[in-house]
Structure 1
Amino acid sequence: MNLQQLRYVVATAEHRTMTDAARSLYIAQPALSRAIRDLERELGMTLFARSGRGVVVTAQGRRVVKLAREALDAVHEIESLASHGRSAETELRIASTPSLEPGLAGRLLPAYTEKNPAVRVHIVRCDGRDGVVSAIRDQRADLGLTDLPVPTDLISHPLERQEVVLISPPGLDLPDSVPMSRLTGMRLVLPARGSARRREFEQMFAKYGVRPVAAAETDERGGWLSPVRAGVGSLLWYRGMAEQAMRAGLVVRSLDPPIRRVIAIVHARRRLPVIVQDFLALAEGGTAA
């Protein structure tokens, strides 16, 4: 038995389906099912029973889930105690996605460093939401800035809603506000097929009944503007990238109806050092708006 298995048990109990639990943990559903089965064999008991398309926690399972939560809380407490004794507490590490980093550096960090000049802030650059989650879980970062949702073992503090816009090469015959229906047949630069981010895009396309064409597929978000500059296709991303895109000679347009995503600061479920609490208090005070 290990901590990872305990996290899997808690997530499965909270989501009540293996598919949703696996998605929240950013792992494949078969891997989660296999880990739960291995733990059940090790313990000699059934934790979850099939019920329609989901699962229900058995009587024995409820006890295990309760103890698993307590064990994970205890680990977080121990980690918190250890962090208080480190001189590194004067360094605040914040994981961020490339598209959200400019807002972090331009608004939150100047205000924080002005009030806390003795604290050195280090930005951990991550390739997307999955990277931010991993940085926090691996304790490479104290906080993360990303869009929601995140796995249930993390706590989120919503900051703002950021608009999703269409970034295109010049010369396209499109209105200033692009109807969602115009995305059908449009060549788009999209995340890799099968990735969590790609599934979110596909859910959005299904919601509006549109069928764009995948002109390029990659999870290297730092290079997403390059194929747009080369005329390969357009890109759906946050308005926070608009200034960088316009400097590159690209055209930024709103969508109709407008689409907005929640941006949040996230962290592990544990007692936070004072310098981290101070940053959260500043962010939630409205500096990021």
Structure 2
Amino acid sequence: MINFDLAALRTLVAIADQETFARAGETVHRTQAAVSQQMRRLEDQLGLALFERSGRTKELTPSGRKLVDYARRMLALQEETLAALHAVTTGGPVRLGSPADIADTVLPEMLRRFARANPALSLVIHVGRSPDLMELLKKGAIDLTISTRFDESRRHFLLRTSPVVWIAANDFRVDPNRPLPLVLADEPSIFRKIALAALERSGRTWHERYTAPGLAGIRAAVAAGLGITARSIEALTPELRVVGEADGLPPLGNIRYYLYQRDDAVSEAAKNLFRLMAARG
């Protein structure tokens, strides 16, 4: 009888999502060597090849892809079980802050199972920019927040590591002979900092064509073809596409999203939500 290692399954899902062992390692907080070792043990346990080499990279085999589907379901059941065990019937609302890109894409699925197990709990979501959310947390205006800012003085964990990419309209073409038109957030913005630092290192000329305070304005300007922007991969929408090194643009690396709890004075409901979301890591 095979007893699946949930940590190994979580790593397998991370590889499927991140497409490389190295990026998956950042997501699950393991070295690339440790990820490879985990996958070898899983293959030995199953007696199946989960990966096959394709050029310099490894791709999932049909058996590997099938296991990823089951792994997602097993991990989802684990989260649902934790949510049910920590269910609360009173308390709240839990006030949760989130950047717009995470609130649009990652957060709904995170909260769905917790809300189903806690039907009496109310949630208030504050969508904003990371520095503003950290200030709200400091003031006690919210109980938990997701943020790109790192603050070791507060209870936290690494929620997600995401690639930062150049994003443009589907019909936008980068002209290598002209300064790069940029659509950027105003200060303070970690994505603005990442973009300008990468362009400075590469020697690529640029000009700031449009400045917006939030993601909605940035998306609108990029979709209108005014320029390109640097955001996490979660900011992509159907009318936008990723441009990159093939277009003469420098790589941008990854960004980390942390979840913070204000302090121990928050409600039990907020503590339970924090624990549940931490269990995904």
The TM-score, its normalising length taken from structure 2, stands at 0.58
Matched residue, 1:234: 228
**Residue in 2 that maps onto 1:213:** 207
Does 1:102 find its partner at 2:104? Answer: yes
Question: Could you say which residue in structure 2 is the equivalent of 1:146?
Answer: 147
Aligned to 2:4: none
C-alpha deviation, 1:254, in angstroms = 5.4
Q: Residue type matched to 1:205 in 2?
A: L
Aligned-partner SS, 1:162: strand
What's the offset of the Cα at 1:88? Answer: 8.3
Give the secondary structure class of the aligned counterpart of 1:89: coil
Residue pair 1:153, 1:268 contacting (<8 A) in 2 also:
no
Question: Secondary structure of the equivalent of 1:112?
Answer: helix
CA distance in 2: counterparts of 1:138 and 1:183, whole angstroms: 48
Contact kept? 1:161, 1:262, Cα under 8 Å: yes
Q: Identity rate of aligned residues, in percent?
A: 14
Q: Secondary structure at the match of 2:120?
A: coil
CA distance in 2, matches of 1:88, 1:209: 57
Counterparts of 1:183 and 1:227 in 2: how far apart (Å)?
A: 22
Q: Secondary structure at the match of 2:225?
A: coil
Which amino acid is 1:195 matched to?
A: P
Q: Which runs of 5+ in 1 are unaligned?
A: 1-86, 175-181
CA distance in 2, matches of 1:190, 1:269: 33
Give 1:106-117 correspondences, 5 Å limit: 106-117=108-119
Amino acid at match of 2:148: D
Distance 1:206 1:184, change over 3 A: farther
Distance 1:190-1:160 versus aligned 2 partners, 3 A rule? same
Q: How far apart, in 1, do the equivalents of 2:111 and 2:197 lie?
A: 34
SS class of match (1:167): strand
Q: Which residue of 1 aligns with 2:6?
A: none
1:65-144 to structure 2, matched below 5 A, reads 89-126=91-128, 128-144=129-145
- Equivalent position to 1:261, from 252, 255, 259: 255
Residues 161 and 260, structure 1, Cα contact 8 Å, conserved in 2: yes
Deviations 1:24-65 (A, max 9, x none): xxxxxxxxxxxxxxxxxxxxxxxxxxxxxxxxxxxxxxxxxx
What amino acid is aligned across from residue 284 of structure 1 in structure 2? Answer: A
Following TM superposition, by how much is the alpha carbon of 1:209 offset from its aligned partner in structure 2, in angstroms? 4.2
Is this contact kept in 2: 1:136–1:143, CA < 8 A? yes
Distance 1:271 1:123 in 2: 19
Shift of 1:213: 1.9
Asked whether the 8 Å contact 1:188–1:212 carries over to 2, the reply is yes
Q: Which residue does 1:195 correspond to in 2?
A: 188
Which residue identity does 2:131 align to in structure 1?
Answer: D
Closer, same or farther: CA 222–253 of 1 in aligned 2, 3 Å: same
Q: For structure 2, list consecutive stretches of 5 or more residues without a partner in the other structure.
A: 1-88
CA distance in 2, matches of 1:226, 1:163: 21
Task: Pick closer, same or farther for the CA change 1:199–1:165 going to 2, 3 Å.
Answer: closer
Q: Deviations over 1:191-219 (max 9, x none)?
A: 22x53534444334334444432111222
User: Contact 2:158 / 2:257 at 8 angstroms: preserved in 1?
Assistant: yes
Letter matched to residue 221 of structure 2: P
* Change in 2 beyond 3 A, CA 1:285/1:183: farther
In terms of mean alpha carbon deviation, does 262-271 or 196-205 score higher? 196-205
Q: State the alpha-carbon separation in 1 of the partners of residues 216 and 178 from structure 2.
A: 26
